[in-house]
């Protein structure tokens, strides 16, 4: 196999793996093209689905002659993964597949993804590069509170952390008191979980009389759900850590497709493995860097299940300015809102993250909230936003609470253009999450 496509996880390689973040653009494009050529040929030869799609477009692998021809290839949607459930997109024999993951499948059938040993090594390397860009090193102790299992968060961070040589504490999600105890007793320096679970840990720590600011934790690796810049500020302040975003999606591998660097000014994409494009979601035409559109990824070295031009439904743009960190891999604007989470209320598109940003802009609110959607008899939709106040701001004086309600609902209207009914609830009443938070409860009968 081509040397480019044989990732290994030996220490020498890992010490130099971050060099891939700093290649010249020419060298990077050369590597990308070589890998893409192999990937297209592999998909055509070994995946009946890709072969059929290419035939329908009268395309042969030889018609893709450079990165600039990639747009000719068909797009892959989430629906394709559902329709081919479970193994329809596998492109190697089952005996070459060493692991499968699946999405939770709350709406219909789950998405199944498969990895060869080499695919897993690519993924682990990407997590290594993510951790390195947060300044994590071998002396760190990483408490991995992402769920272990079919969900990619737990094993993704686990393999990457272990490959980098940090000490991994594979605690998974839940058992929050124990999380706090281990953070304290093990001298944990890095925590990975969903941002909402970290908030829960912070509350629990406070209850137990432990101040996370006094512990050696300095880095939080947060992802798997949208979170706003306002949420980042709250977390960084309360825990005295740097809170970094890790970007990923199960269909491409899991966490580690991209990561922020210490400048926290966008997400660097490990584009020698995951080639990004931005397309117009209506016309499907490719858009130049700098323009906003839908993010599309091509896995350049994933053999078990190649994803060529996978539509993520995430809206962002590739950034054109250089990052002060010196990395040459491109950045995209951080994805704080995902199209899958969007809801439509009285004709207006609203992201939960917008509501989060709006309510956190009001001093005194706690970062715990829920959005309830209901439909009146006759068809009009209503939004109720339940939000907690900080215990010290929660008062039994009606005037004080009304003041908060007014401010929050004004802010939500300013940010989203919708009128929401704001309900203030007592501290601790919104259900806490140990994984992905359920922010939106849609009670509308379709």
Query: Which of 221, 389 has the CB closer to Zn ion?
Result: 221
Q: Could you say which residues in the range 200-259 bind Zn ion, by CB under 5 A? A: none
Q: How far is the CB of 325 from Zn ion (least distance, A)?
A: 3
Residues 250-269 as x/- pattern, contact with Zn ion by CB under 5 A: -----------x-x------
The pair of structure tokens assigned to 223 is 């992802």
- Cα gap 256→132, rounded to integer Å: 11
Q: Could you say which residues in the range 59-88 bind Zn ion, by CB under 5 A? A: none
Query: Which of 140, 260 has the CB closer to Zn ion?
Result: 260
Torsion of CA 118, 124, 128, 129, to 10 degrees: 60
Q: How far is the CB of 133 from Zn ion (least distance, A)?
A: 7
Residues 310-349 as x/- pattern, contact with Zn ion by CB under 5 A: -------------x-x-x----------------------
- Cα gap 214→29, rounded to integer Å: 45
- Read off φ and ψ for residue 177, nearest 5 degrees: -60, -40
Q: How far is the CB of 324 from Zn ion (least distance, A)?
A: 7
Query: Which of 182, 325 has the CB closer to Zn ion?
Result: 325
Q: How far is the CB of 270 from Zn ion (least distance, A)?
A: 13
Pick from 400, 403, 365, 399: nearest CA to 385:
365
Tell me the number of residues near Zn ion by CB under 5 A: 5
Query: Which of 261, 389 has the CB closer to Zn ion?
Result: 261
Neighbours of 104 (CB within 10 A): 12
Q: How far is the CB of 135 from Zn ion (least distance, A)?
A: 12
Q: Which residues of 117-130 are buried (b: 16+ CB within 10 A; e: fewer)?
A: ebbbbbbbbbbbbb
- Cα gap 317→289, rounded to integer Å: 7
Q: How far is the CB of 331 from Zn ion (least distance, A)?
A: 7
- Cα gap 12→17, rounded to integer Å: 9
Query: Which of 309, 327 has the CB closer to Zn ion?
Result: 327
Pick from 201, 197, 196, 166: nearest CA to 182:
201
Query: Which of 69, 236 has the CB closer to Zn ion?
Result: 236
Residues that bind Zn ion (CB under 5 A): 261, 263, 323, 325, 327
């Amino acid at each position: 196999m081509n040397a480019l496509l044989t990732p290994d996880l030996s220490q020498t390689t890992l010490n130099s793996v971050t060099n891939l973040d700093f290649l010249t653009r020419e060298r990077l494009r050369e590597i990308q093209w070589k890998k893409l050529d192999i990937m297209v040929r592999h998909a055509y030869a070994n995946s009946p689905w890709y072969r059929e799609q290419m035939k329908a477009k009268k395309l042969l692998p030889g018609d893709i002659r450079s990165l600039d021809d990639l747009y000719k290839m068909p797009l892959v949607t989430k629906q394709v993964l559902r329709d081919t459930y479970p193994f329809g997109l596998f492109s190697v024999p089952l005996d070459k597949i060493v692991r499968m993951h699946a999405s939770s499948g709350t709406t219909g059938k789950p998405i199944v993804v498969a990895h060869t040993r080499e695919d897993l090594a690519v993924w682990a390397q990407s997590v290594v590069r993510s951790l390195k860009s947060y300044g994590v090193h071998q002396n760190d102790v990483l408490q991995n509170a992402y769920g272990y299992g079919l969900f990619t968060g737990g094993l993704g961070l686990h393999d990457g952390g272990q490959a980098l040589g940090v000490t991994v504490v594979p605690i998974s999600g839940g058992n929050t008191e124990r999380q706090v105890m281990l953070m304290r007793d093990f001298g944990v320096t890095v925590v990975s979980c969903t941002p909402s679970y970290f908030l829960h840990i912070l509350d629990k720590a406070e209850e137990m009389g432990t101040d996370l600011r006094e512990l050696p934790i300095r880095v939080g690796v947060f992802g798997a759900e949208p979170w706003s810049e306002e949420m980042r500020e709250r977390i960084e302040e309360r825990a005295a850590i740097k809170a970094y975003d890790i970007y990923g999606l199960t269909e491409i591998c899991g966490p580690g497709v991209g990561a922020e660097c210490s400048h926290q000014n966008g997400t660097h994409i490990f584009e020698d493995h995951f080639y990004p494009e931005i397309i117009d979601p209506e016309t499907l035409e490719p858009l130049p860097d700098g323009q906003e559109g839908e993010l599309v990824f091509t896995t350049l070295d994933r053999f078990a299940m190649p994803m060529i031009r996978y539509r993520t439904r995430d809206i962002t743009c590739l950034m054109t300015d250089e990052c002060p960190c010196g990395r040459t891999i491109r950045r995209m604007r951080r994805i704080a809102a995902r199209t899958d989470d969007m809801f439509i209320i009285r004709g207006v598109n609203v992201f939960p993250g917008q509501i989060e940003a709006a309510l956190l802009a009001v001093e005194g609110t706690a970062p715990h909230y829920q959005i309830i959607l209901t439909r009146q008899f006759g068809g009009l939709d209503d939004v109720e936003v339940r939000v907690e106040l900080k215990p010290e701001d929660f008062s039994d004086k009606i005037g004080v609470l009304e003041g908060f309600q007014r401010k929050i609902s004004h802010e939500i209207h300013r940010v989203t253009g919708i009128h929401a009914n704001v309900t203030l609830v007592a501290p601790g009443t919104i259900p806490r999450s140990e994984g992905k938070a359920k922010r939106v409860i849609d009670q509308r009968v379709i």
